[in-house]
Amino acid sequence: MATTKTDEDVDFKGENDEGKHPEGNLLNFEPEVPVESMLVPTDNFDSFEQEAPPDPSNLKVDSNLAECQNNDNNTVDDDKLDPDTSGASRSISELSLASEESTDHHGEEEVTNNEEWRSQEKHVFILSSAGKPIYSRHGSEDKLVTLFGVMQALVSFIGDDGDVIRSIHTQGTLFVFLIKGPIMLACVCKTRESVAQITVQLNYVYSQIVSVLTLQQLTRIYEQRRNYDLRRLLAGAERLIDHMLIALETQPALLLGAVQCLPLVPTTRDAITNIIVSSCNKIKNLVFAILVGGNQLVTLIRMKKFFLHPADLHLILNLVNSSESFKAAESWTPICLPKFDPKGFLHAHVSYLAEDCEACLLLLTVDADLFFPLSEAKQKIVEKLRRASLLQSINSALAHPGTPVSQLGVPEARHFLYKCKATAQFWGPVPAPPYQTAEGAKRLLDQYRILHHRLHAPMQPLKLLYLQDHAETMLGWVTTGFELYVAFEPLVTKTNAINAVNKILRWIKKDENGLFITNAPTF
Amino acid sequence: MAHDSPLSLKYFYIYNSSYGQKEGEEAQKILYYYPTKTDLDSQIKNVGLTEAIIKFTETFNCNQQCESLHTQKTRQLYYQPEDGFWMVLVLTVPTATKTKEGIDHLEYQSDEVQDNIYWAVLKQAYRSFQLFNGSFSNILDSEKDPTKLRYKLDHFFAKYLIKLKPQHADILDVFHGIQFLPLDKKTFLHVQTLVNLLECSFPKVRHTAFLYNDQLVWSGLEPDDMQAMYRYLITSLLPAQMETELQGGPMPRQSAAFSALHFGSRFVSGPSNLQGDDVGKIPKVYLKNDDGPVICHLVIYRALNATVCLFIDEAVSLEMDFFQRLDIFLGHRLTSLGSEIAEQFNHSVASAASAESGAKFVYFNQLNRAQKSTIHLDNRKSGNISVPVDVLRILADVNADFMERKPTTGETIVKTMNDFWVVGKLSNLREFYVVIHHKNANLIEINEEVKKLCDSQFKSIFFNE
């Protein structure tokens, strides 16, 4: 991704460091930007609008999957792209077994009258356009049939007028609806998040479903049977959705649409990357090799011309984080990455590097028959890493407790998040008091959410936002190259806040190569 | 931004679910529906949707008011001013044509419609009705059937909605503040002396309010009542008289010589001819009180841009003799006081104009509802504003954020993509917003500029740093 020069760069000619401030004349703190990034830079706002289901007739046209395959291996039968005939996908024939079941309405009042259920901070419901329950975060779907019916009725009543329901606002509760082709999602939350932010979250949940089924299968199922009970196909996926929702609530990564990298000396990271490349470059159809540890990215190698969207990487991280079974044995699992290609599956070889190394390696391919070659390659990678004592390097980086803000020499700041826009990566120090508790961390993330929402308001994005209230003073700043979100003590002066921002940027700049992956290796 | 279709009022309706609960009798729930020409089926359908939405939200929260519904094409605001009575304002979302990949498509600008503004507009509609008619349930009580209420609603809102102009609503509609006229001590005491003397000489007068042009000098009403009253006076009753005076905008006002057009004092509500027998039509107002509303006659008398509003107990019957005595008492006194204020007023306008800087501001004090603003070029709610409309929206956003988080003090500073800075300060119950256009300024410089503005405009008011 090449950066484009904008008029803003003109401001950045300041030479004198001290006394140059946010949004005044600025010294150049813009991050170093690689010519190409492995991740697609994103503002995370591309997914607001409801999408219509794709026309099945052109499902194969313009497919990333097809392109990766044709690139390197013309012998693979095109049919393999069709998830319905590919061995790893769930068979469409299961659908014919579907029969109407009777549902039990009696338990419903028990649930909706339950104070604990009513006071849950965030409900998420998924249902088909016919009103069939698919998922409920709290309380069994079977006991909420009437509620699902009411939601379906509201959506279709407003839909009949050629309009689309978006949200309902009450004094303390927000209701958000998202209609995605044959299914709809609803969120009921008391968290004071904005409609735009909840919509992004519902889109993540939707992507999680697509990731398990592919869009093609999802569309086809409902074309054949409008009344189909999707839970048959999603057995086991509830866990992924539950986990995704928790991640959305607790991890700044999903808010920022960025990933955090495991901090490593650049030469170490390059050595790891080179070992993976050299062990895999004979294997055709390998699209991505991803090494993750502690929910952070160690390295990512991609097939030339193809990029991973951060939202897809979050789906992958969610899969890894919510599946204990990967630790026990190497696995072969189909996964659809909706931003990469919603129409079909990639096949993932997933394994942890070794019993004594908690990093997880994912090798993603379009070829369903590649399990054994990938398994072999993985063995080679581990051997080489061990010989070069790189497993040790990864382990010690994983064991590092993280850098608290106090070690950065910025006493004015309590915490911050820095996102490099071009590489879709971010870094933040480990939370220190008052944010070390779960409650404190939640409040901090809420504050970041408020900043993020206002700075990225779809109709009216802002350059800078400074918010002072009784608990803290927050500063959010978006430039062409980076986004910075800082939490200060409530009574910080503006001069001190600005000095702190400059110190943070200088520190980031100094350590940029260890904190971020600034190259974009390919096979 | 150019709009293909601007924001507009689509429906406005008032219903009570306890009427017409039987199937087929749903129409009885509807007490007022605008546009009145809407066919009954659509009316019933839309009221039904509102009821369904409210019922649905109740599944998840007890006792929280449902405030709005957002759809792609509409924004619907809900307000329940009295138990069981719901008022609903439905707006069409403005649209704009955008070109994407060479293809024109219609985009709904939902973010341009701000809930806090229109919820305030809806609430104000109720307050205005209530001021002249009393509460919904009081109108019902006397007759037990809603025929009279329907009639009164129809009579009131038919006129009210024409003047609504929802496309020009902004943060000032959230505040509905009162502009006070600052006077020097001596002149202010003269006003107060007149009011006291008047109330002693005419014990039937319960409260008095004194205005000069569109600014309030003195009020004996509760702030809440005065707020509603003030709005009625300056948006409905006085504009006819003040049209010529207001053409120059709120800051540079017309000179006293110009106002002399209205030389000669007269009753604005009351008899037009003091020699005749007809005392004229005198409106009644319902003032708030702990034990039910107090109903008063509203008599308005005006001389030389000075307006005196007299609130007289309903029980008193107003005879021509009363008006004649009032005219004799007020005529001369008010004329001379009016010219005294005019002199000082022109003086202060001249000095204010010289202090004018590039910064625009809005100030509002919740305690006395005082408001001061330079974001409008006139007082006529015609969309004639001195800052870009997208920047103006940020003010309402910042206000919504303050109201939601409810801090006692707080400060918000934003810089927009087009280099406008908006500073919002909340200090106890006072709010202050400043708009500055400055590309190369930084936070500290903006802070200094706001401080300077505070010093020049609000010398004695303390704002937290």
Q: With respect to CATH, is domain A114-251 assigned 3.30.450.70?
A: yes
Name the residue in chain A with its Cα closest to that of B438.
Answer: A24
The helix/strand/coil state of A186 is strand
Write the pLDDT tens digit of every residue in A376-394. Answer: 999 999 999 999 999 999 9
Per CATH, the number for B357-458 is: 3.30.450
Tell me, what DSSP letter sits at residue A34?
A: -
pLDDT the model gives residue B67: 94
Structure-token match 């079974």, residue found: A325
A 481-500 residues with CB < 8 A to B = 494-495, 497-498
Residue intervals in chain B for CATH 3.30.450.30: 185-246+258-352
Residues in chain A: 523
Q: With respect to CATH, is domain B8-169 assigned 3.30.450.70?
A: yes
What is chain B's mean pLDDT, rounded? 85
**Statement: residue A144 has pLDDT above 90:** no
CB contact under 8 A, B66 and A468: no
Q: Quick one: which of B304, B301, B300 has its CA closest to B263?
A: B304
List CB contacts (< 8 A) between B418 and chain A: none
List CB contacts (< 8 A) between A143 and chain B: none
> Are domains A264-399 and A405-515 of this chain identical in fold?
no
Q: With respect to CATH, is domain A405-515 assigned 3.40.1840.10?
A: yes
- Minimum-distance CB partner of A170 among B67, B109, B401: B67
Q: Is B110 on the interface with A (CB under 8 A)?
A: yes
Going by pLDDT thresholds of 50, 70 and 90, the confidence category of residue A281 is confident
User: How far is residue A64's CA from residue A343's CA, in Å, rounded to a whole number?
Assistant: 9
Going by pLDDT thresholds of 50, 70 and 90, the confidence category of residue A1 is very low
Write the pLDDT tens digit of every residue in A248-259. Answer: 999 999 999 999
pLDDT the model gives residue A62: 53
User: Distances in Å between the alpha carbon of A406 and those of A412, A413, A432, A498, B345?
Assistant: 9, 9, 8, 17, 58
User: How far is residue B81's CA from residue B66's CA, in Å, rounded to a whole number?
Assistant: 12
pLDDT the model gives residue B23: 80
Name the residue in chain B with its Cα closest to that of A174.
Answer: B57
**Statement: residue A191 has pLDDT above 70:** yes
**Statement: residue A89 has pLDDT above 60:** no
Compute the average pLDDT of residues A89-109: 40
CB contact under 8 A, B59 and A165: no
Going by pLDDT thresholds of 50, 70 and 90, the confidence category of residue A18 is very low
Going by pLDDT thresholds of 50, 70 and 90, the confidence category of residue B247 is very low
CB contact under 8 A, A21 and B397: no
pLDDT the model gives residue A392: 92
Query: Which CATH number, 3.40.50.300, 2.10.25.10, 3.30.450.30, 1.10.1740.10, labels domain B185-246+258-352?
Result: 3.30.450.30
Structure-token match 């419609």, residue found: B113
Q: With respect to CATH, is domain A264-399 assigned 3.40.50.720?
A: no
pLDDT the model gives residue A9: 33
Cβ pairs bridging A and B (under 8 Å):
149
Write the pLDDT tens digit of every residue in B3-36. Answer: 688 999 999 999 998 888 888 888 889 999 999 9
**Statement: residue B2 has pLDDT above 60:** no
Write the pLDDT tens digit of every residue in A462-493. Answer: 999 999 988 899 999 999 999 999 999 998 99
User: How far is residue B272's CA from residue B279's CA, in Å, rounded to a whole number?
Assistant: 8
Q: What is the 3-state secondary structure (H, E, C) of chain B?
A: CCCCECCEEEEEEEEECCCCCCCCCHHHHEEEEECCCCCHHHHHHHHHHHHHHHHHHHCCCCCCCEEEEEECCEEEEEEEEECCEEEEEEEECCEEEEEECCEEEEEECHHHCCHHHHHHHHHHHHHHHHHHHCCHHHHHHHHCCCHHHHHHHHHHHHHHHHCCCHHHCCHHHHHCCECECCCCHHHHHHHHHHHHHHHHHCCCEEEEEEEECCEEEEECCCHHHHHHHHHHHHHHHCHHHHHHHHCCCCCCCCCHHHHHHHCCCEEEECCCCCCCCCCCCCCEEEECCCCCCEEEEEEEEEECCEEEEEEEECCCCCCHHHHHHHHHHHHHHHHHHHHHHHHHHHHHHHHHHHCCCCCEEEEEECCCCEEEECCECCCCCCCCECCCHHHHHHHHHHHHHHHHHCCCEEEEEEEECCCEEEEEEEECCEEEEEEEECCCCCHHHHHHHHHHHHHHHCCCCCCCC
- Minimum-distance CB partner of A154 among B52, B67, B410: B52
Structure-token match 């089924």, residue found: A213
Compute the average pLDDT of residues A270-274: 94
Compute the average pLDDT of residues A3-24: 41
Tell me, what DSSP letter sits at residue A518?
A: -
- Whether the CB-CB separation of A262 and A298 falls below 8 Å is answered with yes
Q: Quick one: which of B353, B360, B354, B355 has its CA closest to B437?
A: B360
pTM above 0.95, yes or no: no
Write the pLDDT tens digit of every residue in B170-223. Answer: 999 999 999 999 888 899 999 999 999 999 999 999 999 999 988 999 999 999
Q: Is B51 on the interface with A (CB under 8 A)?
A: no
Q: How far apart are the first and last CA of chain A?
A: 19
CB contact under 8 A, B56 and A158: no
- Whether the CB-CB separation of A81 and A63 falls below 8 Å is answered with yes
- Minimum-distance CB partner of A165 among B61, B71, B405: B71
pLDDT the model gives residue A8: 36
User: How far is residue A400's CA from residue A398's CA, in Å, rounded to a whole number?
Assistant: 6
- Whether the CB-CB separation of A520 and A297 falls below 8 Å is answered with no
CB contact under 8 A, A465 and B413: yes
pLDDT greater at residue A50 or residue B404: B404
Compute the average pLDDT of residues A317-331: 89
Going by pLDDT thresholds of 50, 70 and 90, the confidence category of residue A14 is very low
Measured in angstroms, the CA of A169 and the nearest CA of chain B are apart by: 5
Structure-token match 């409920």, residue found: A136
Structure-token match 């649905």, residue found: B56
**Domain extent listing, chain A:** 114-251, 264-399, 405-515
- Pairing between β-strand A165-170 and β-strand B66-71 as defined by DSSP bridges: antiparallel
What percentage of chain A has pLDDT greater than the value 70? 80
Q: Is B340 on the interface with A (CB under 8 A)?
A: no
List CB contacts (< 8 A) between A20 and chain B: 442
Token pair, residue B252, equals: 């540079």
Write the pLDDT tens digit of every residue in B282-340. Answer: 899 999 887 788 999 999 998 888 999 999 999 888 888 899 899 889 888 998 898 89
**Statement: residue A112 has pLDDT above 90:** no
A 165-224 residues with CB < 8 A to B = 165-173, 175, 188, 190, 192, 195
Q: Is A16 on the interface with B (CB under 8 A)?
A: no
**Statement: residue B113 has pLDDT above 90:** yes
Cα four-point dihedral sign A171, A173, A178, A183: negative
Q: Is B158 on the interface with A (CB under 8 A)?
A: no
Tell me, what DSSP letter sits at residue B94?
A: P
A51-55, A163-167, A504-508, B138-142: least confident range:
A51-55
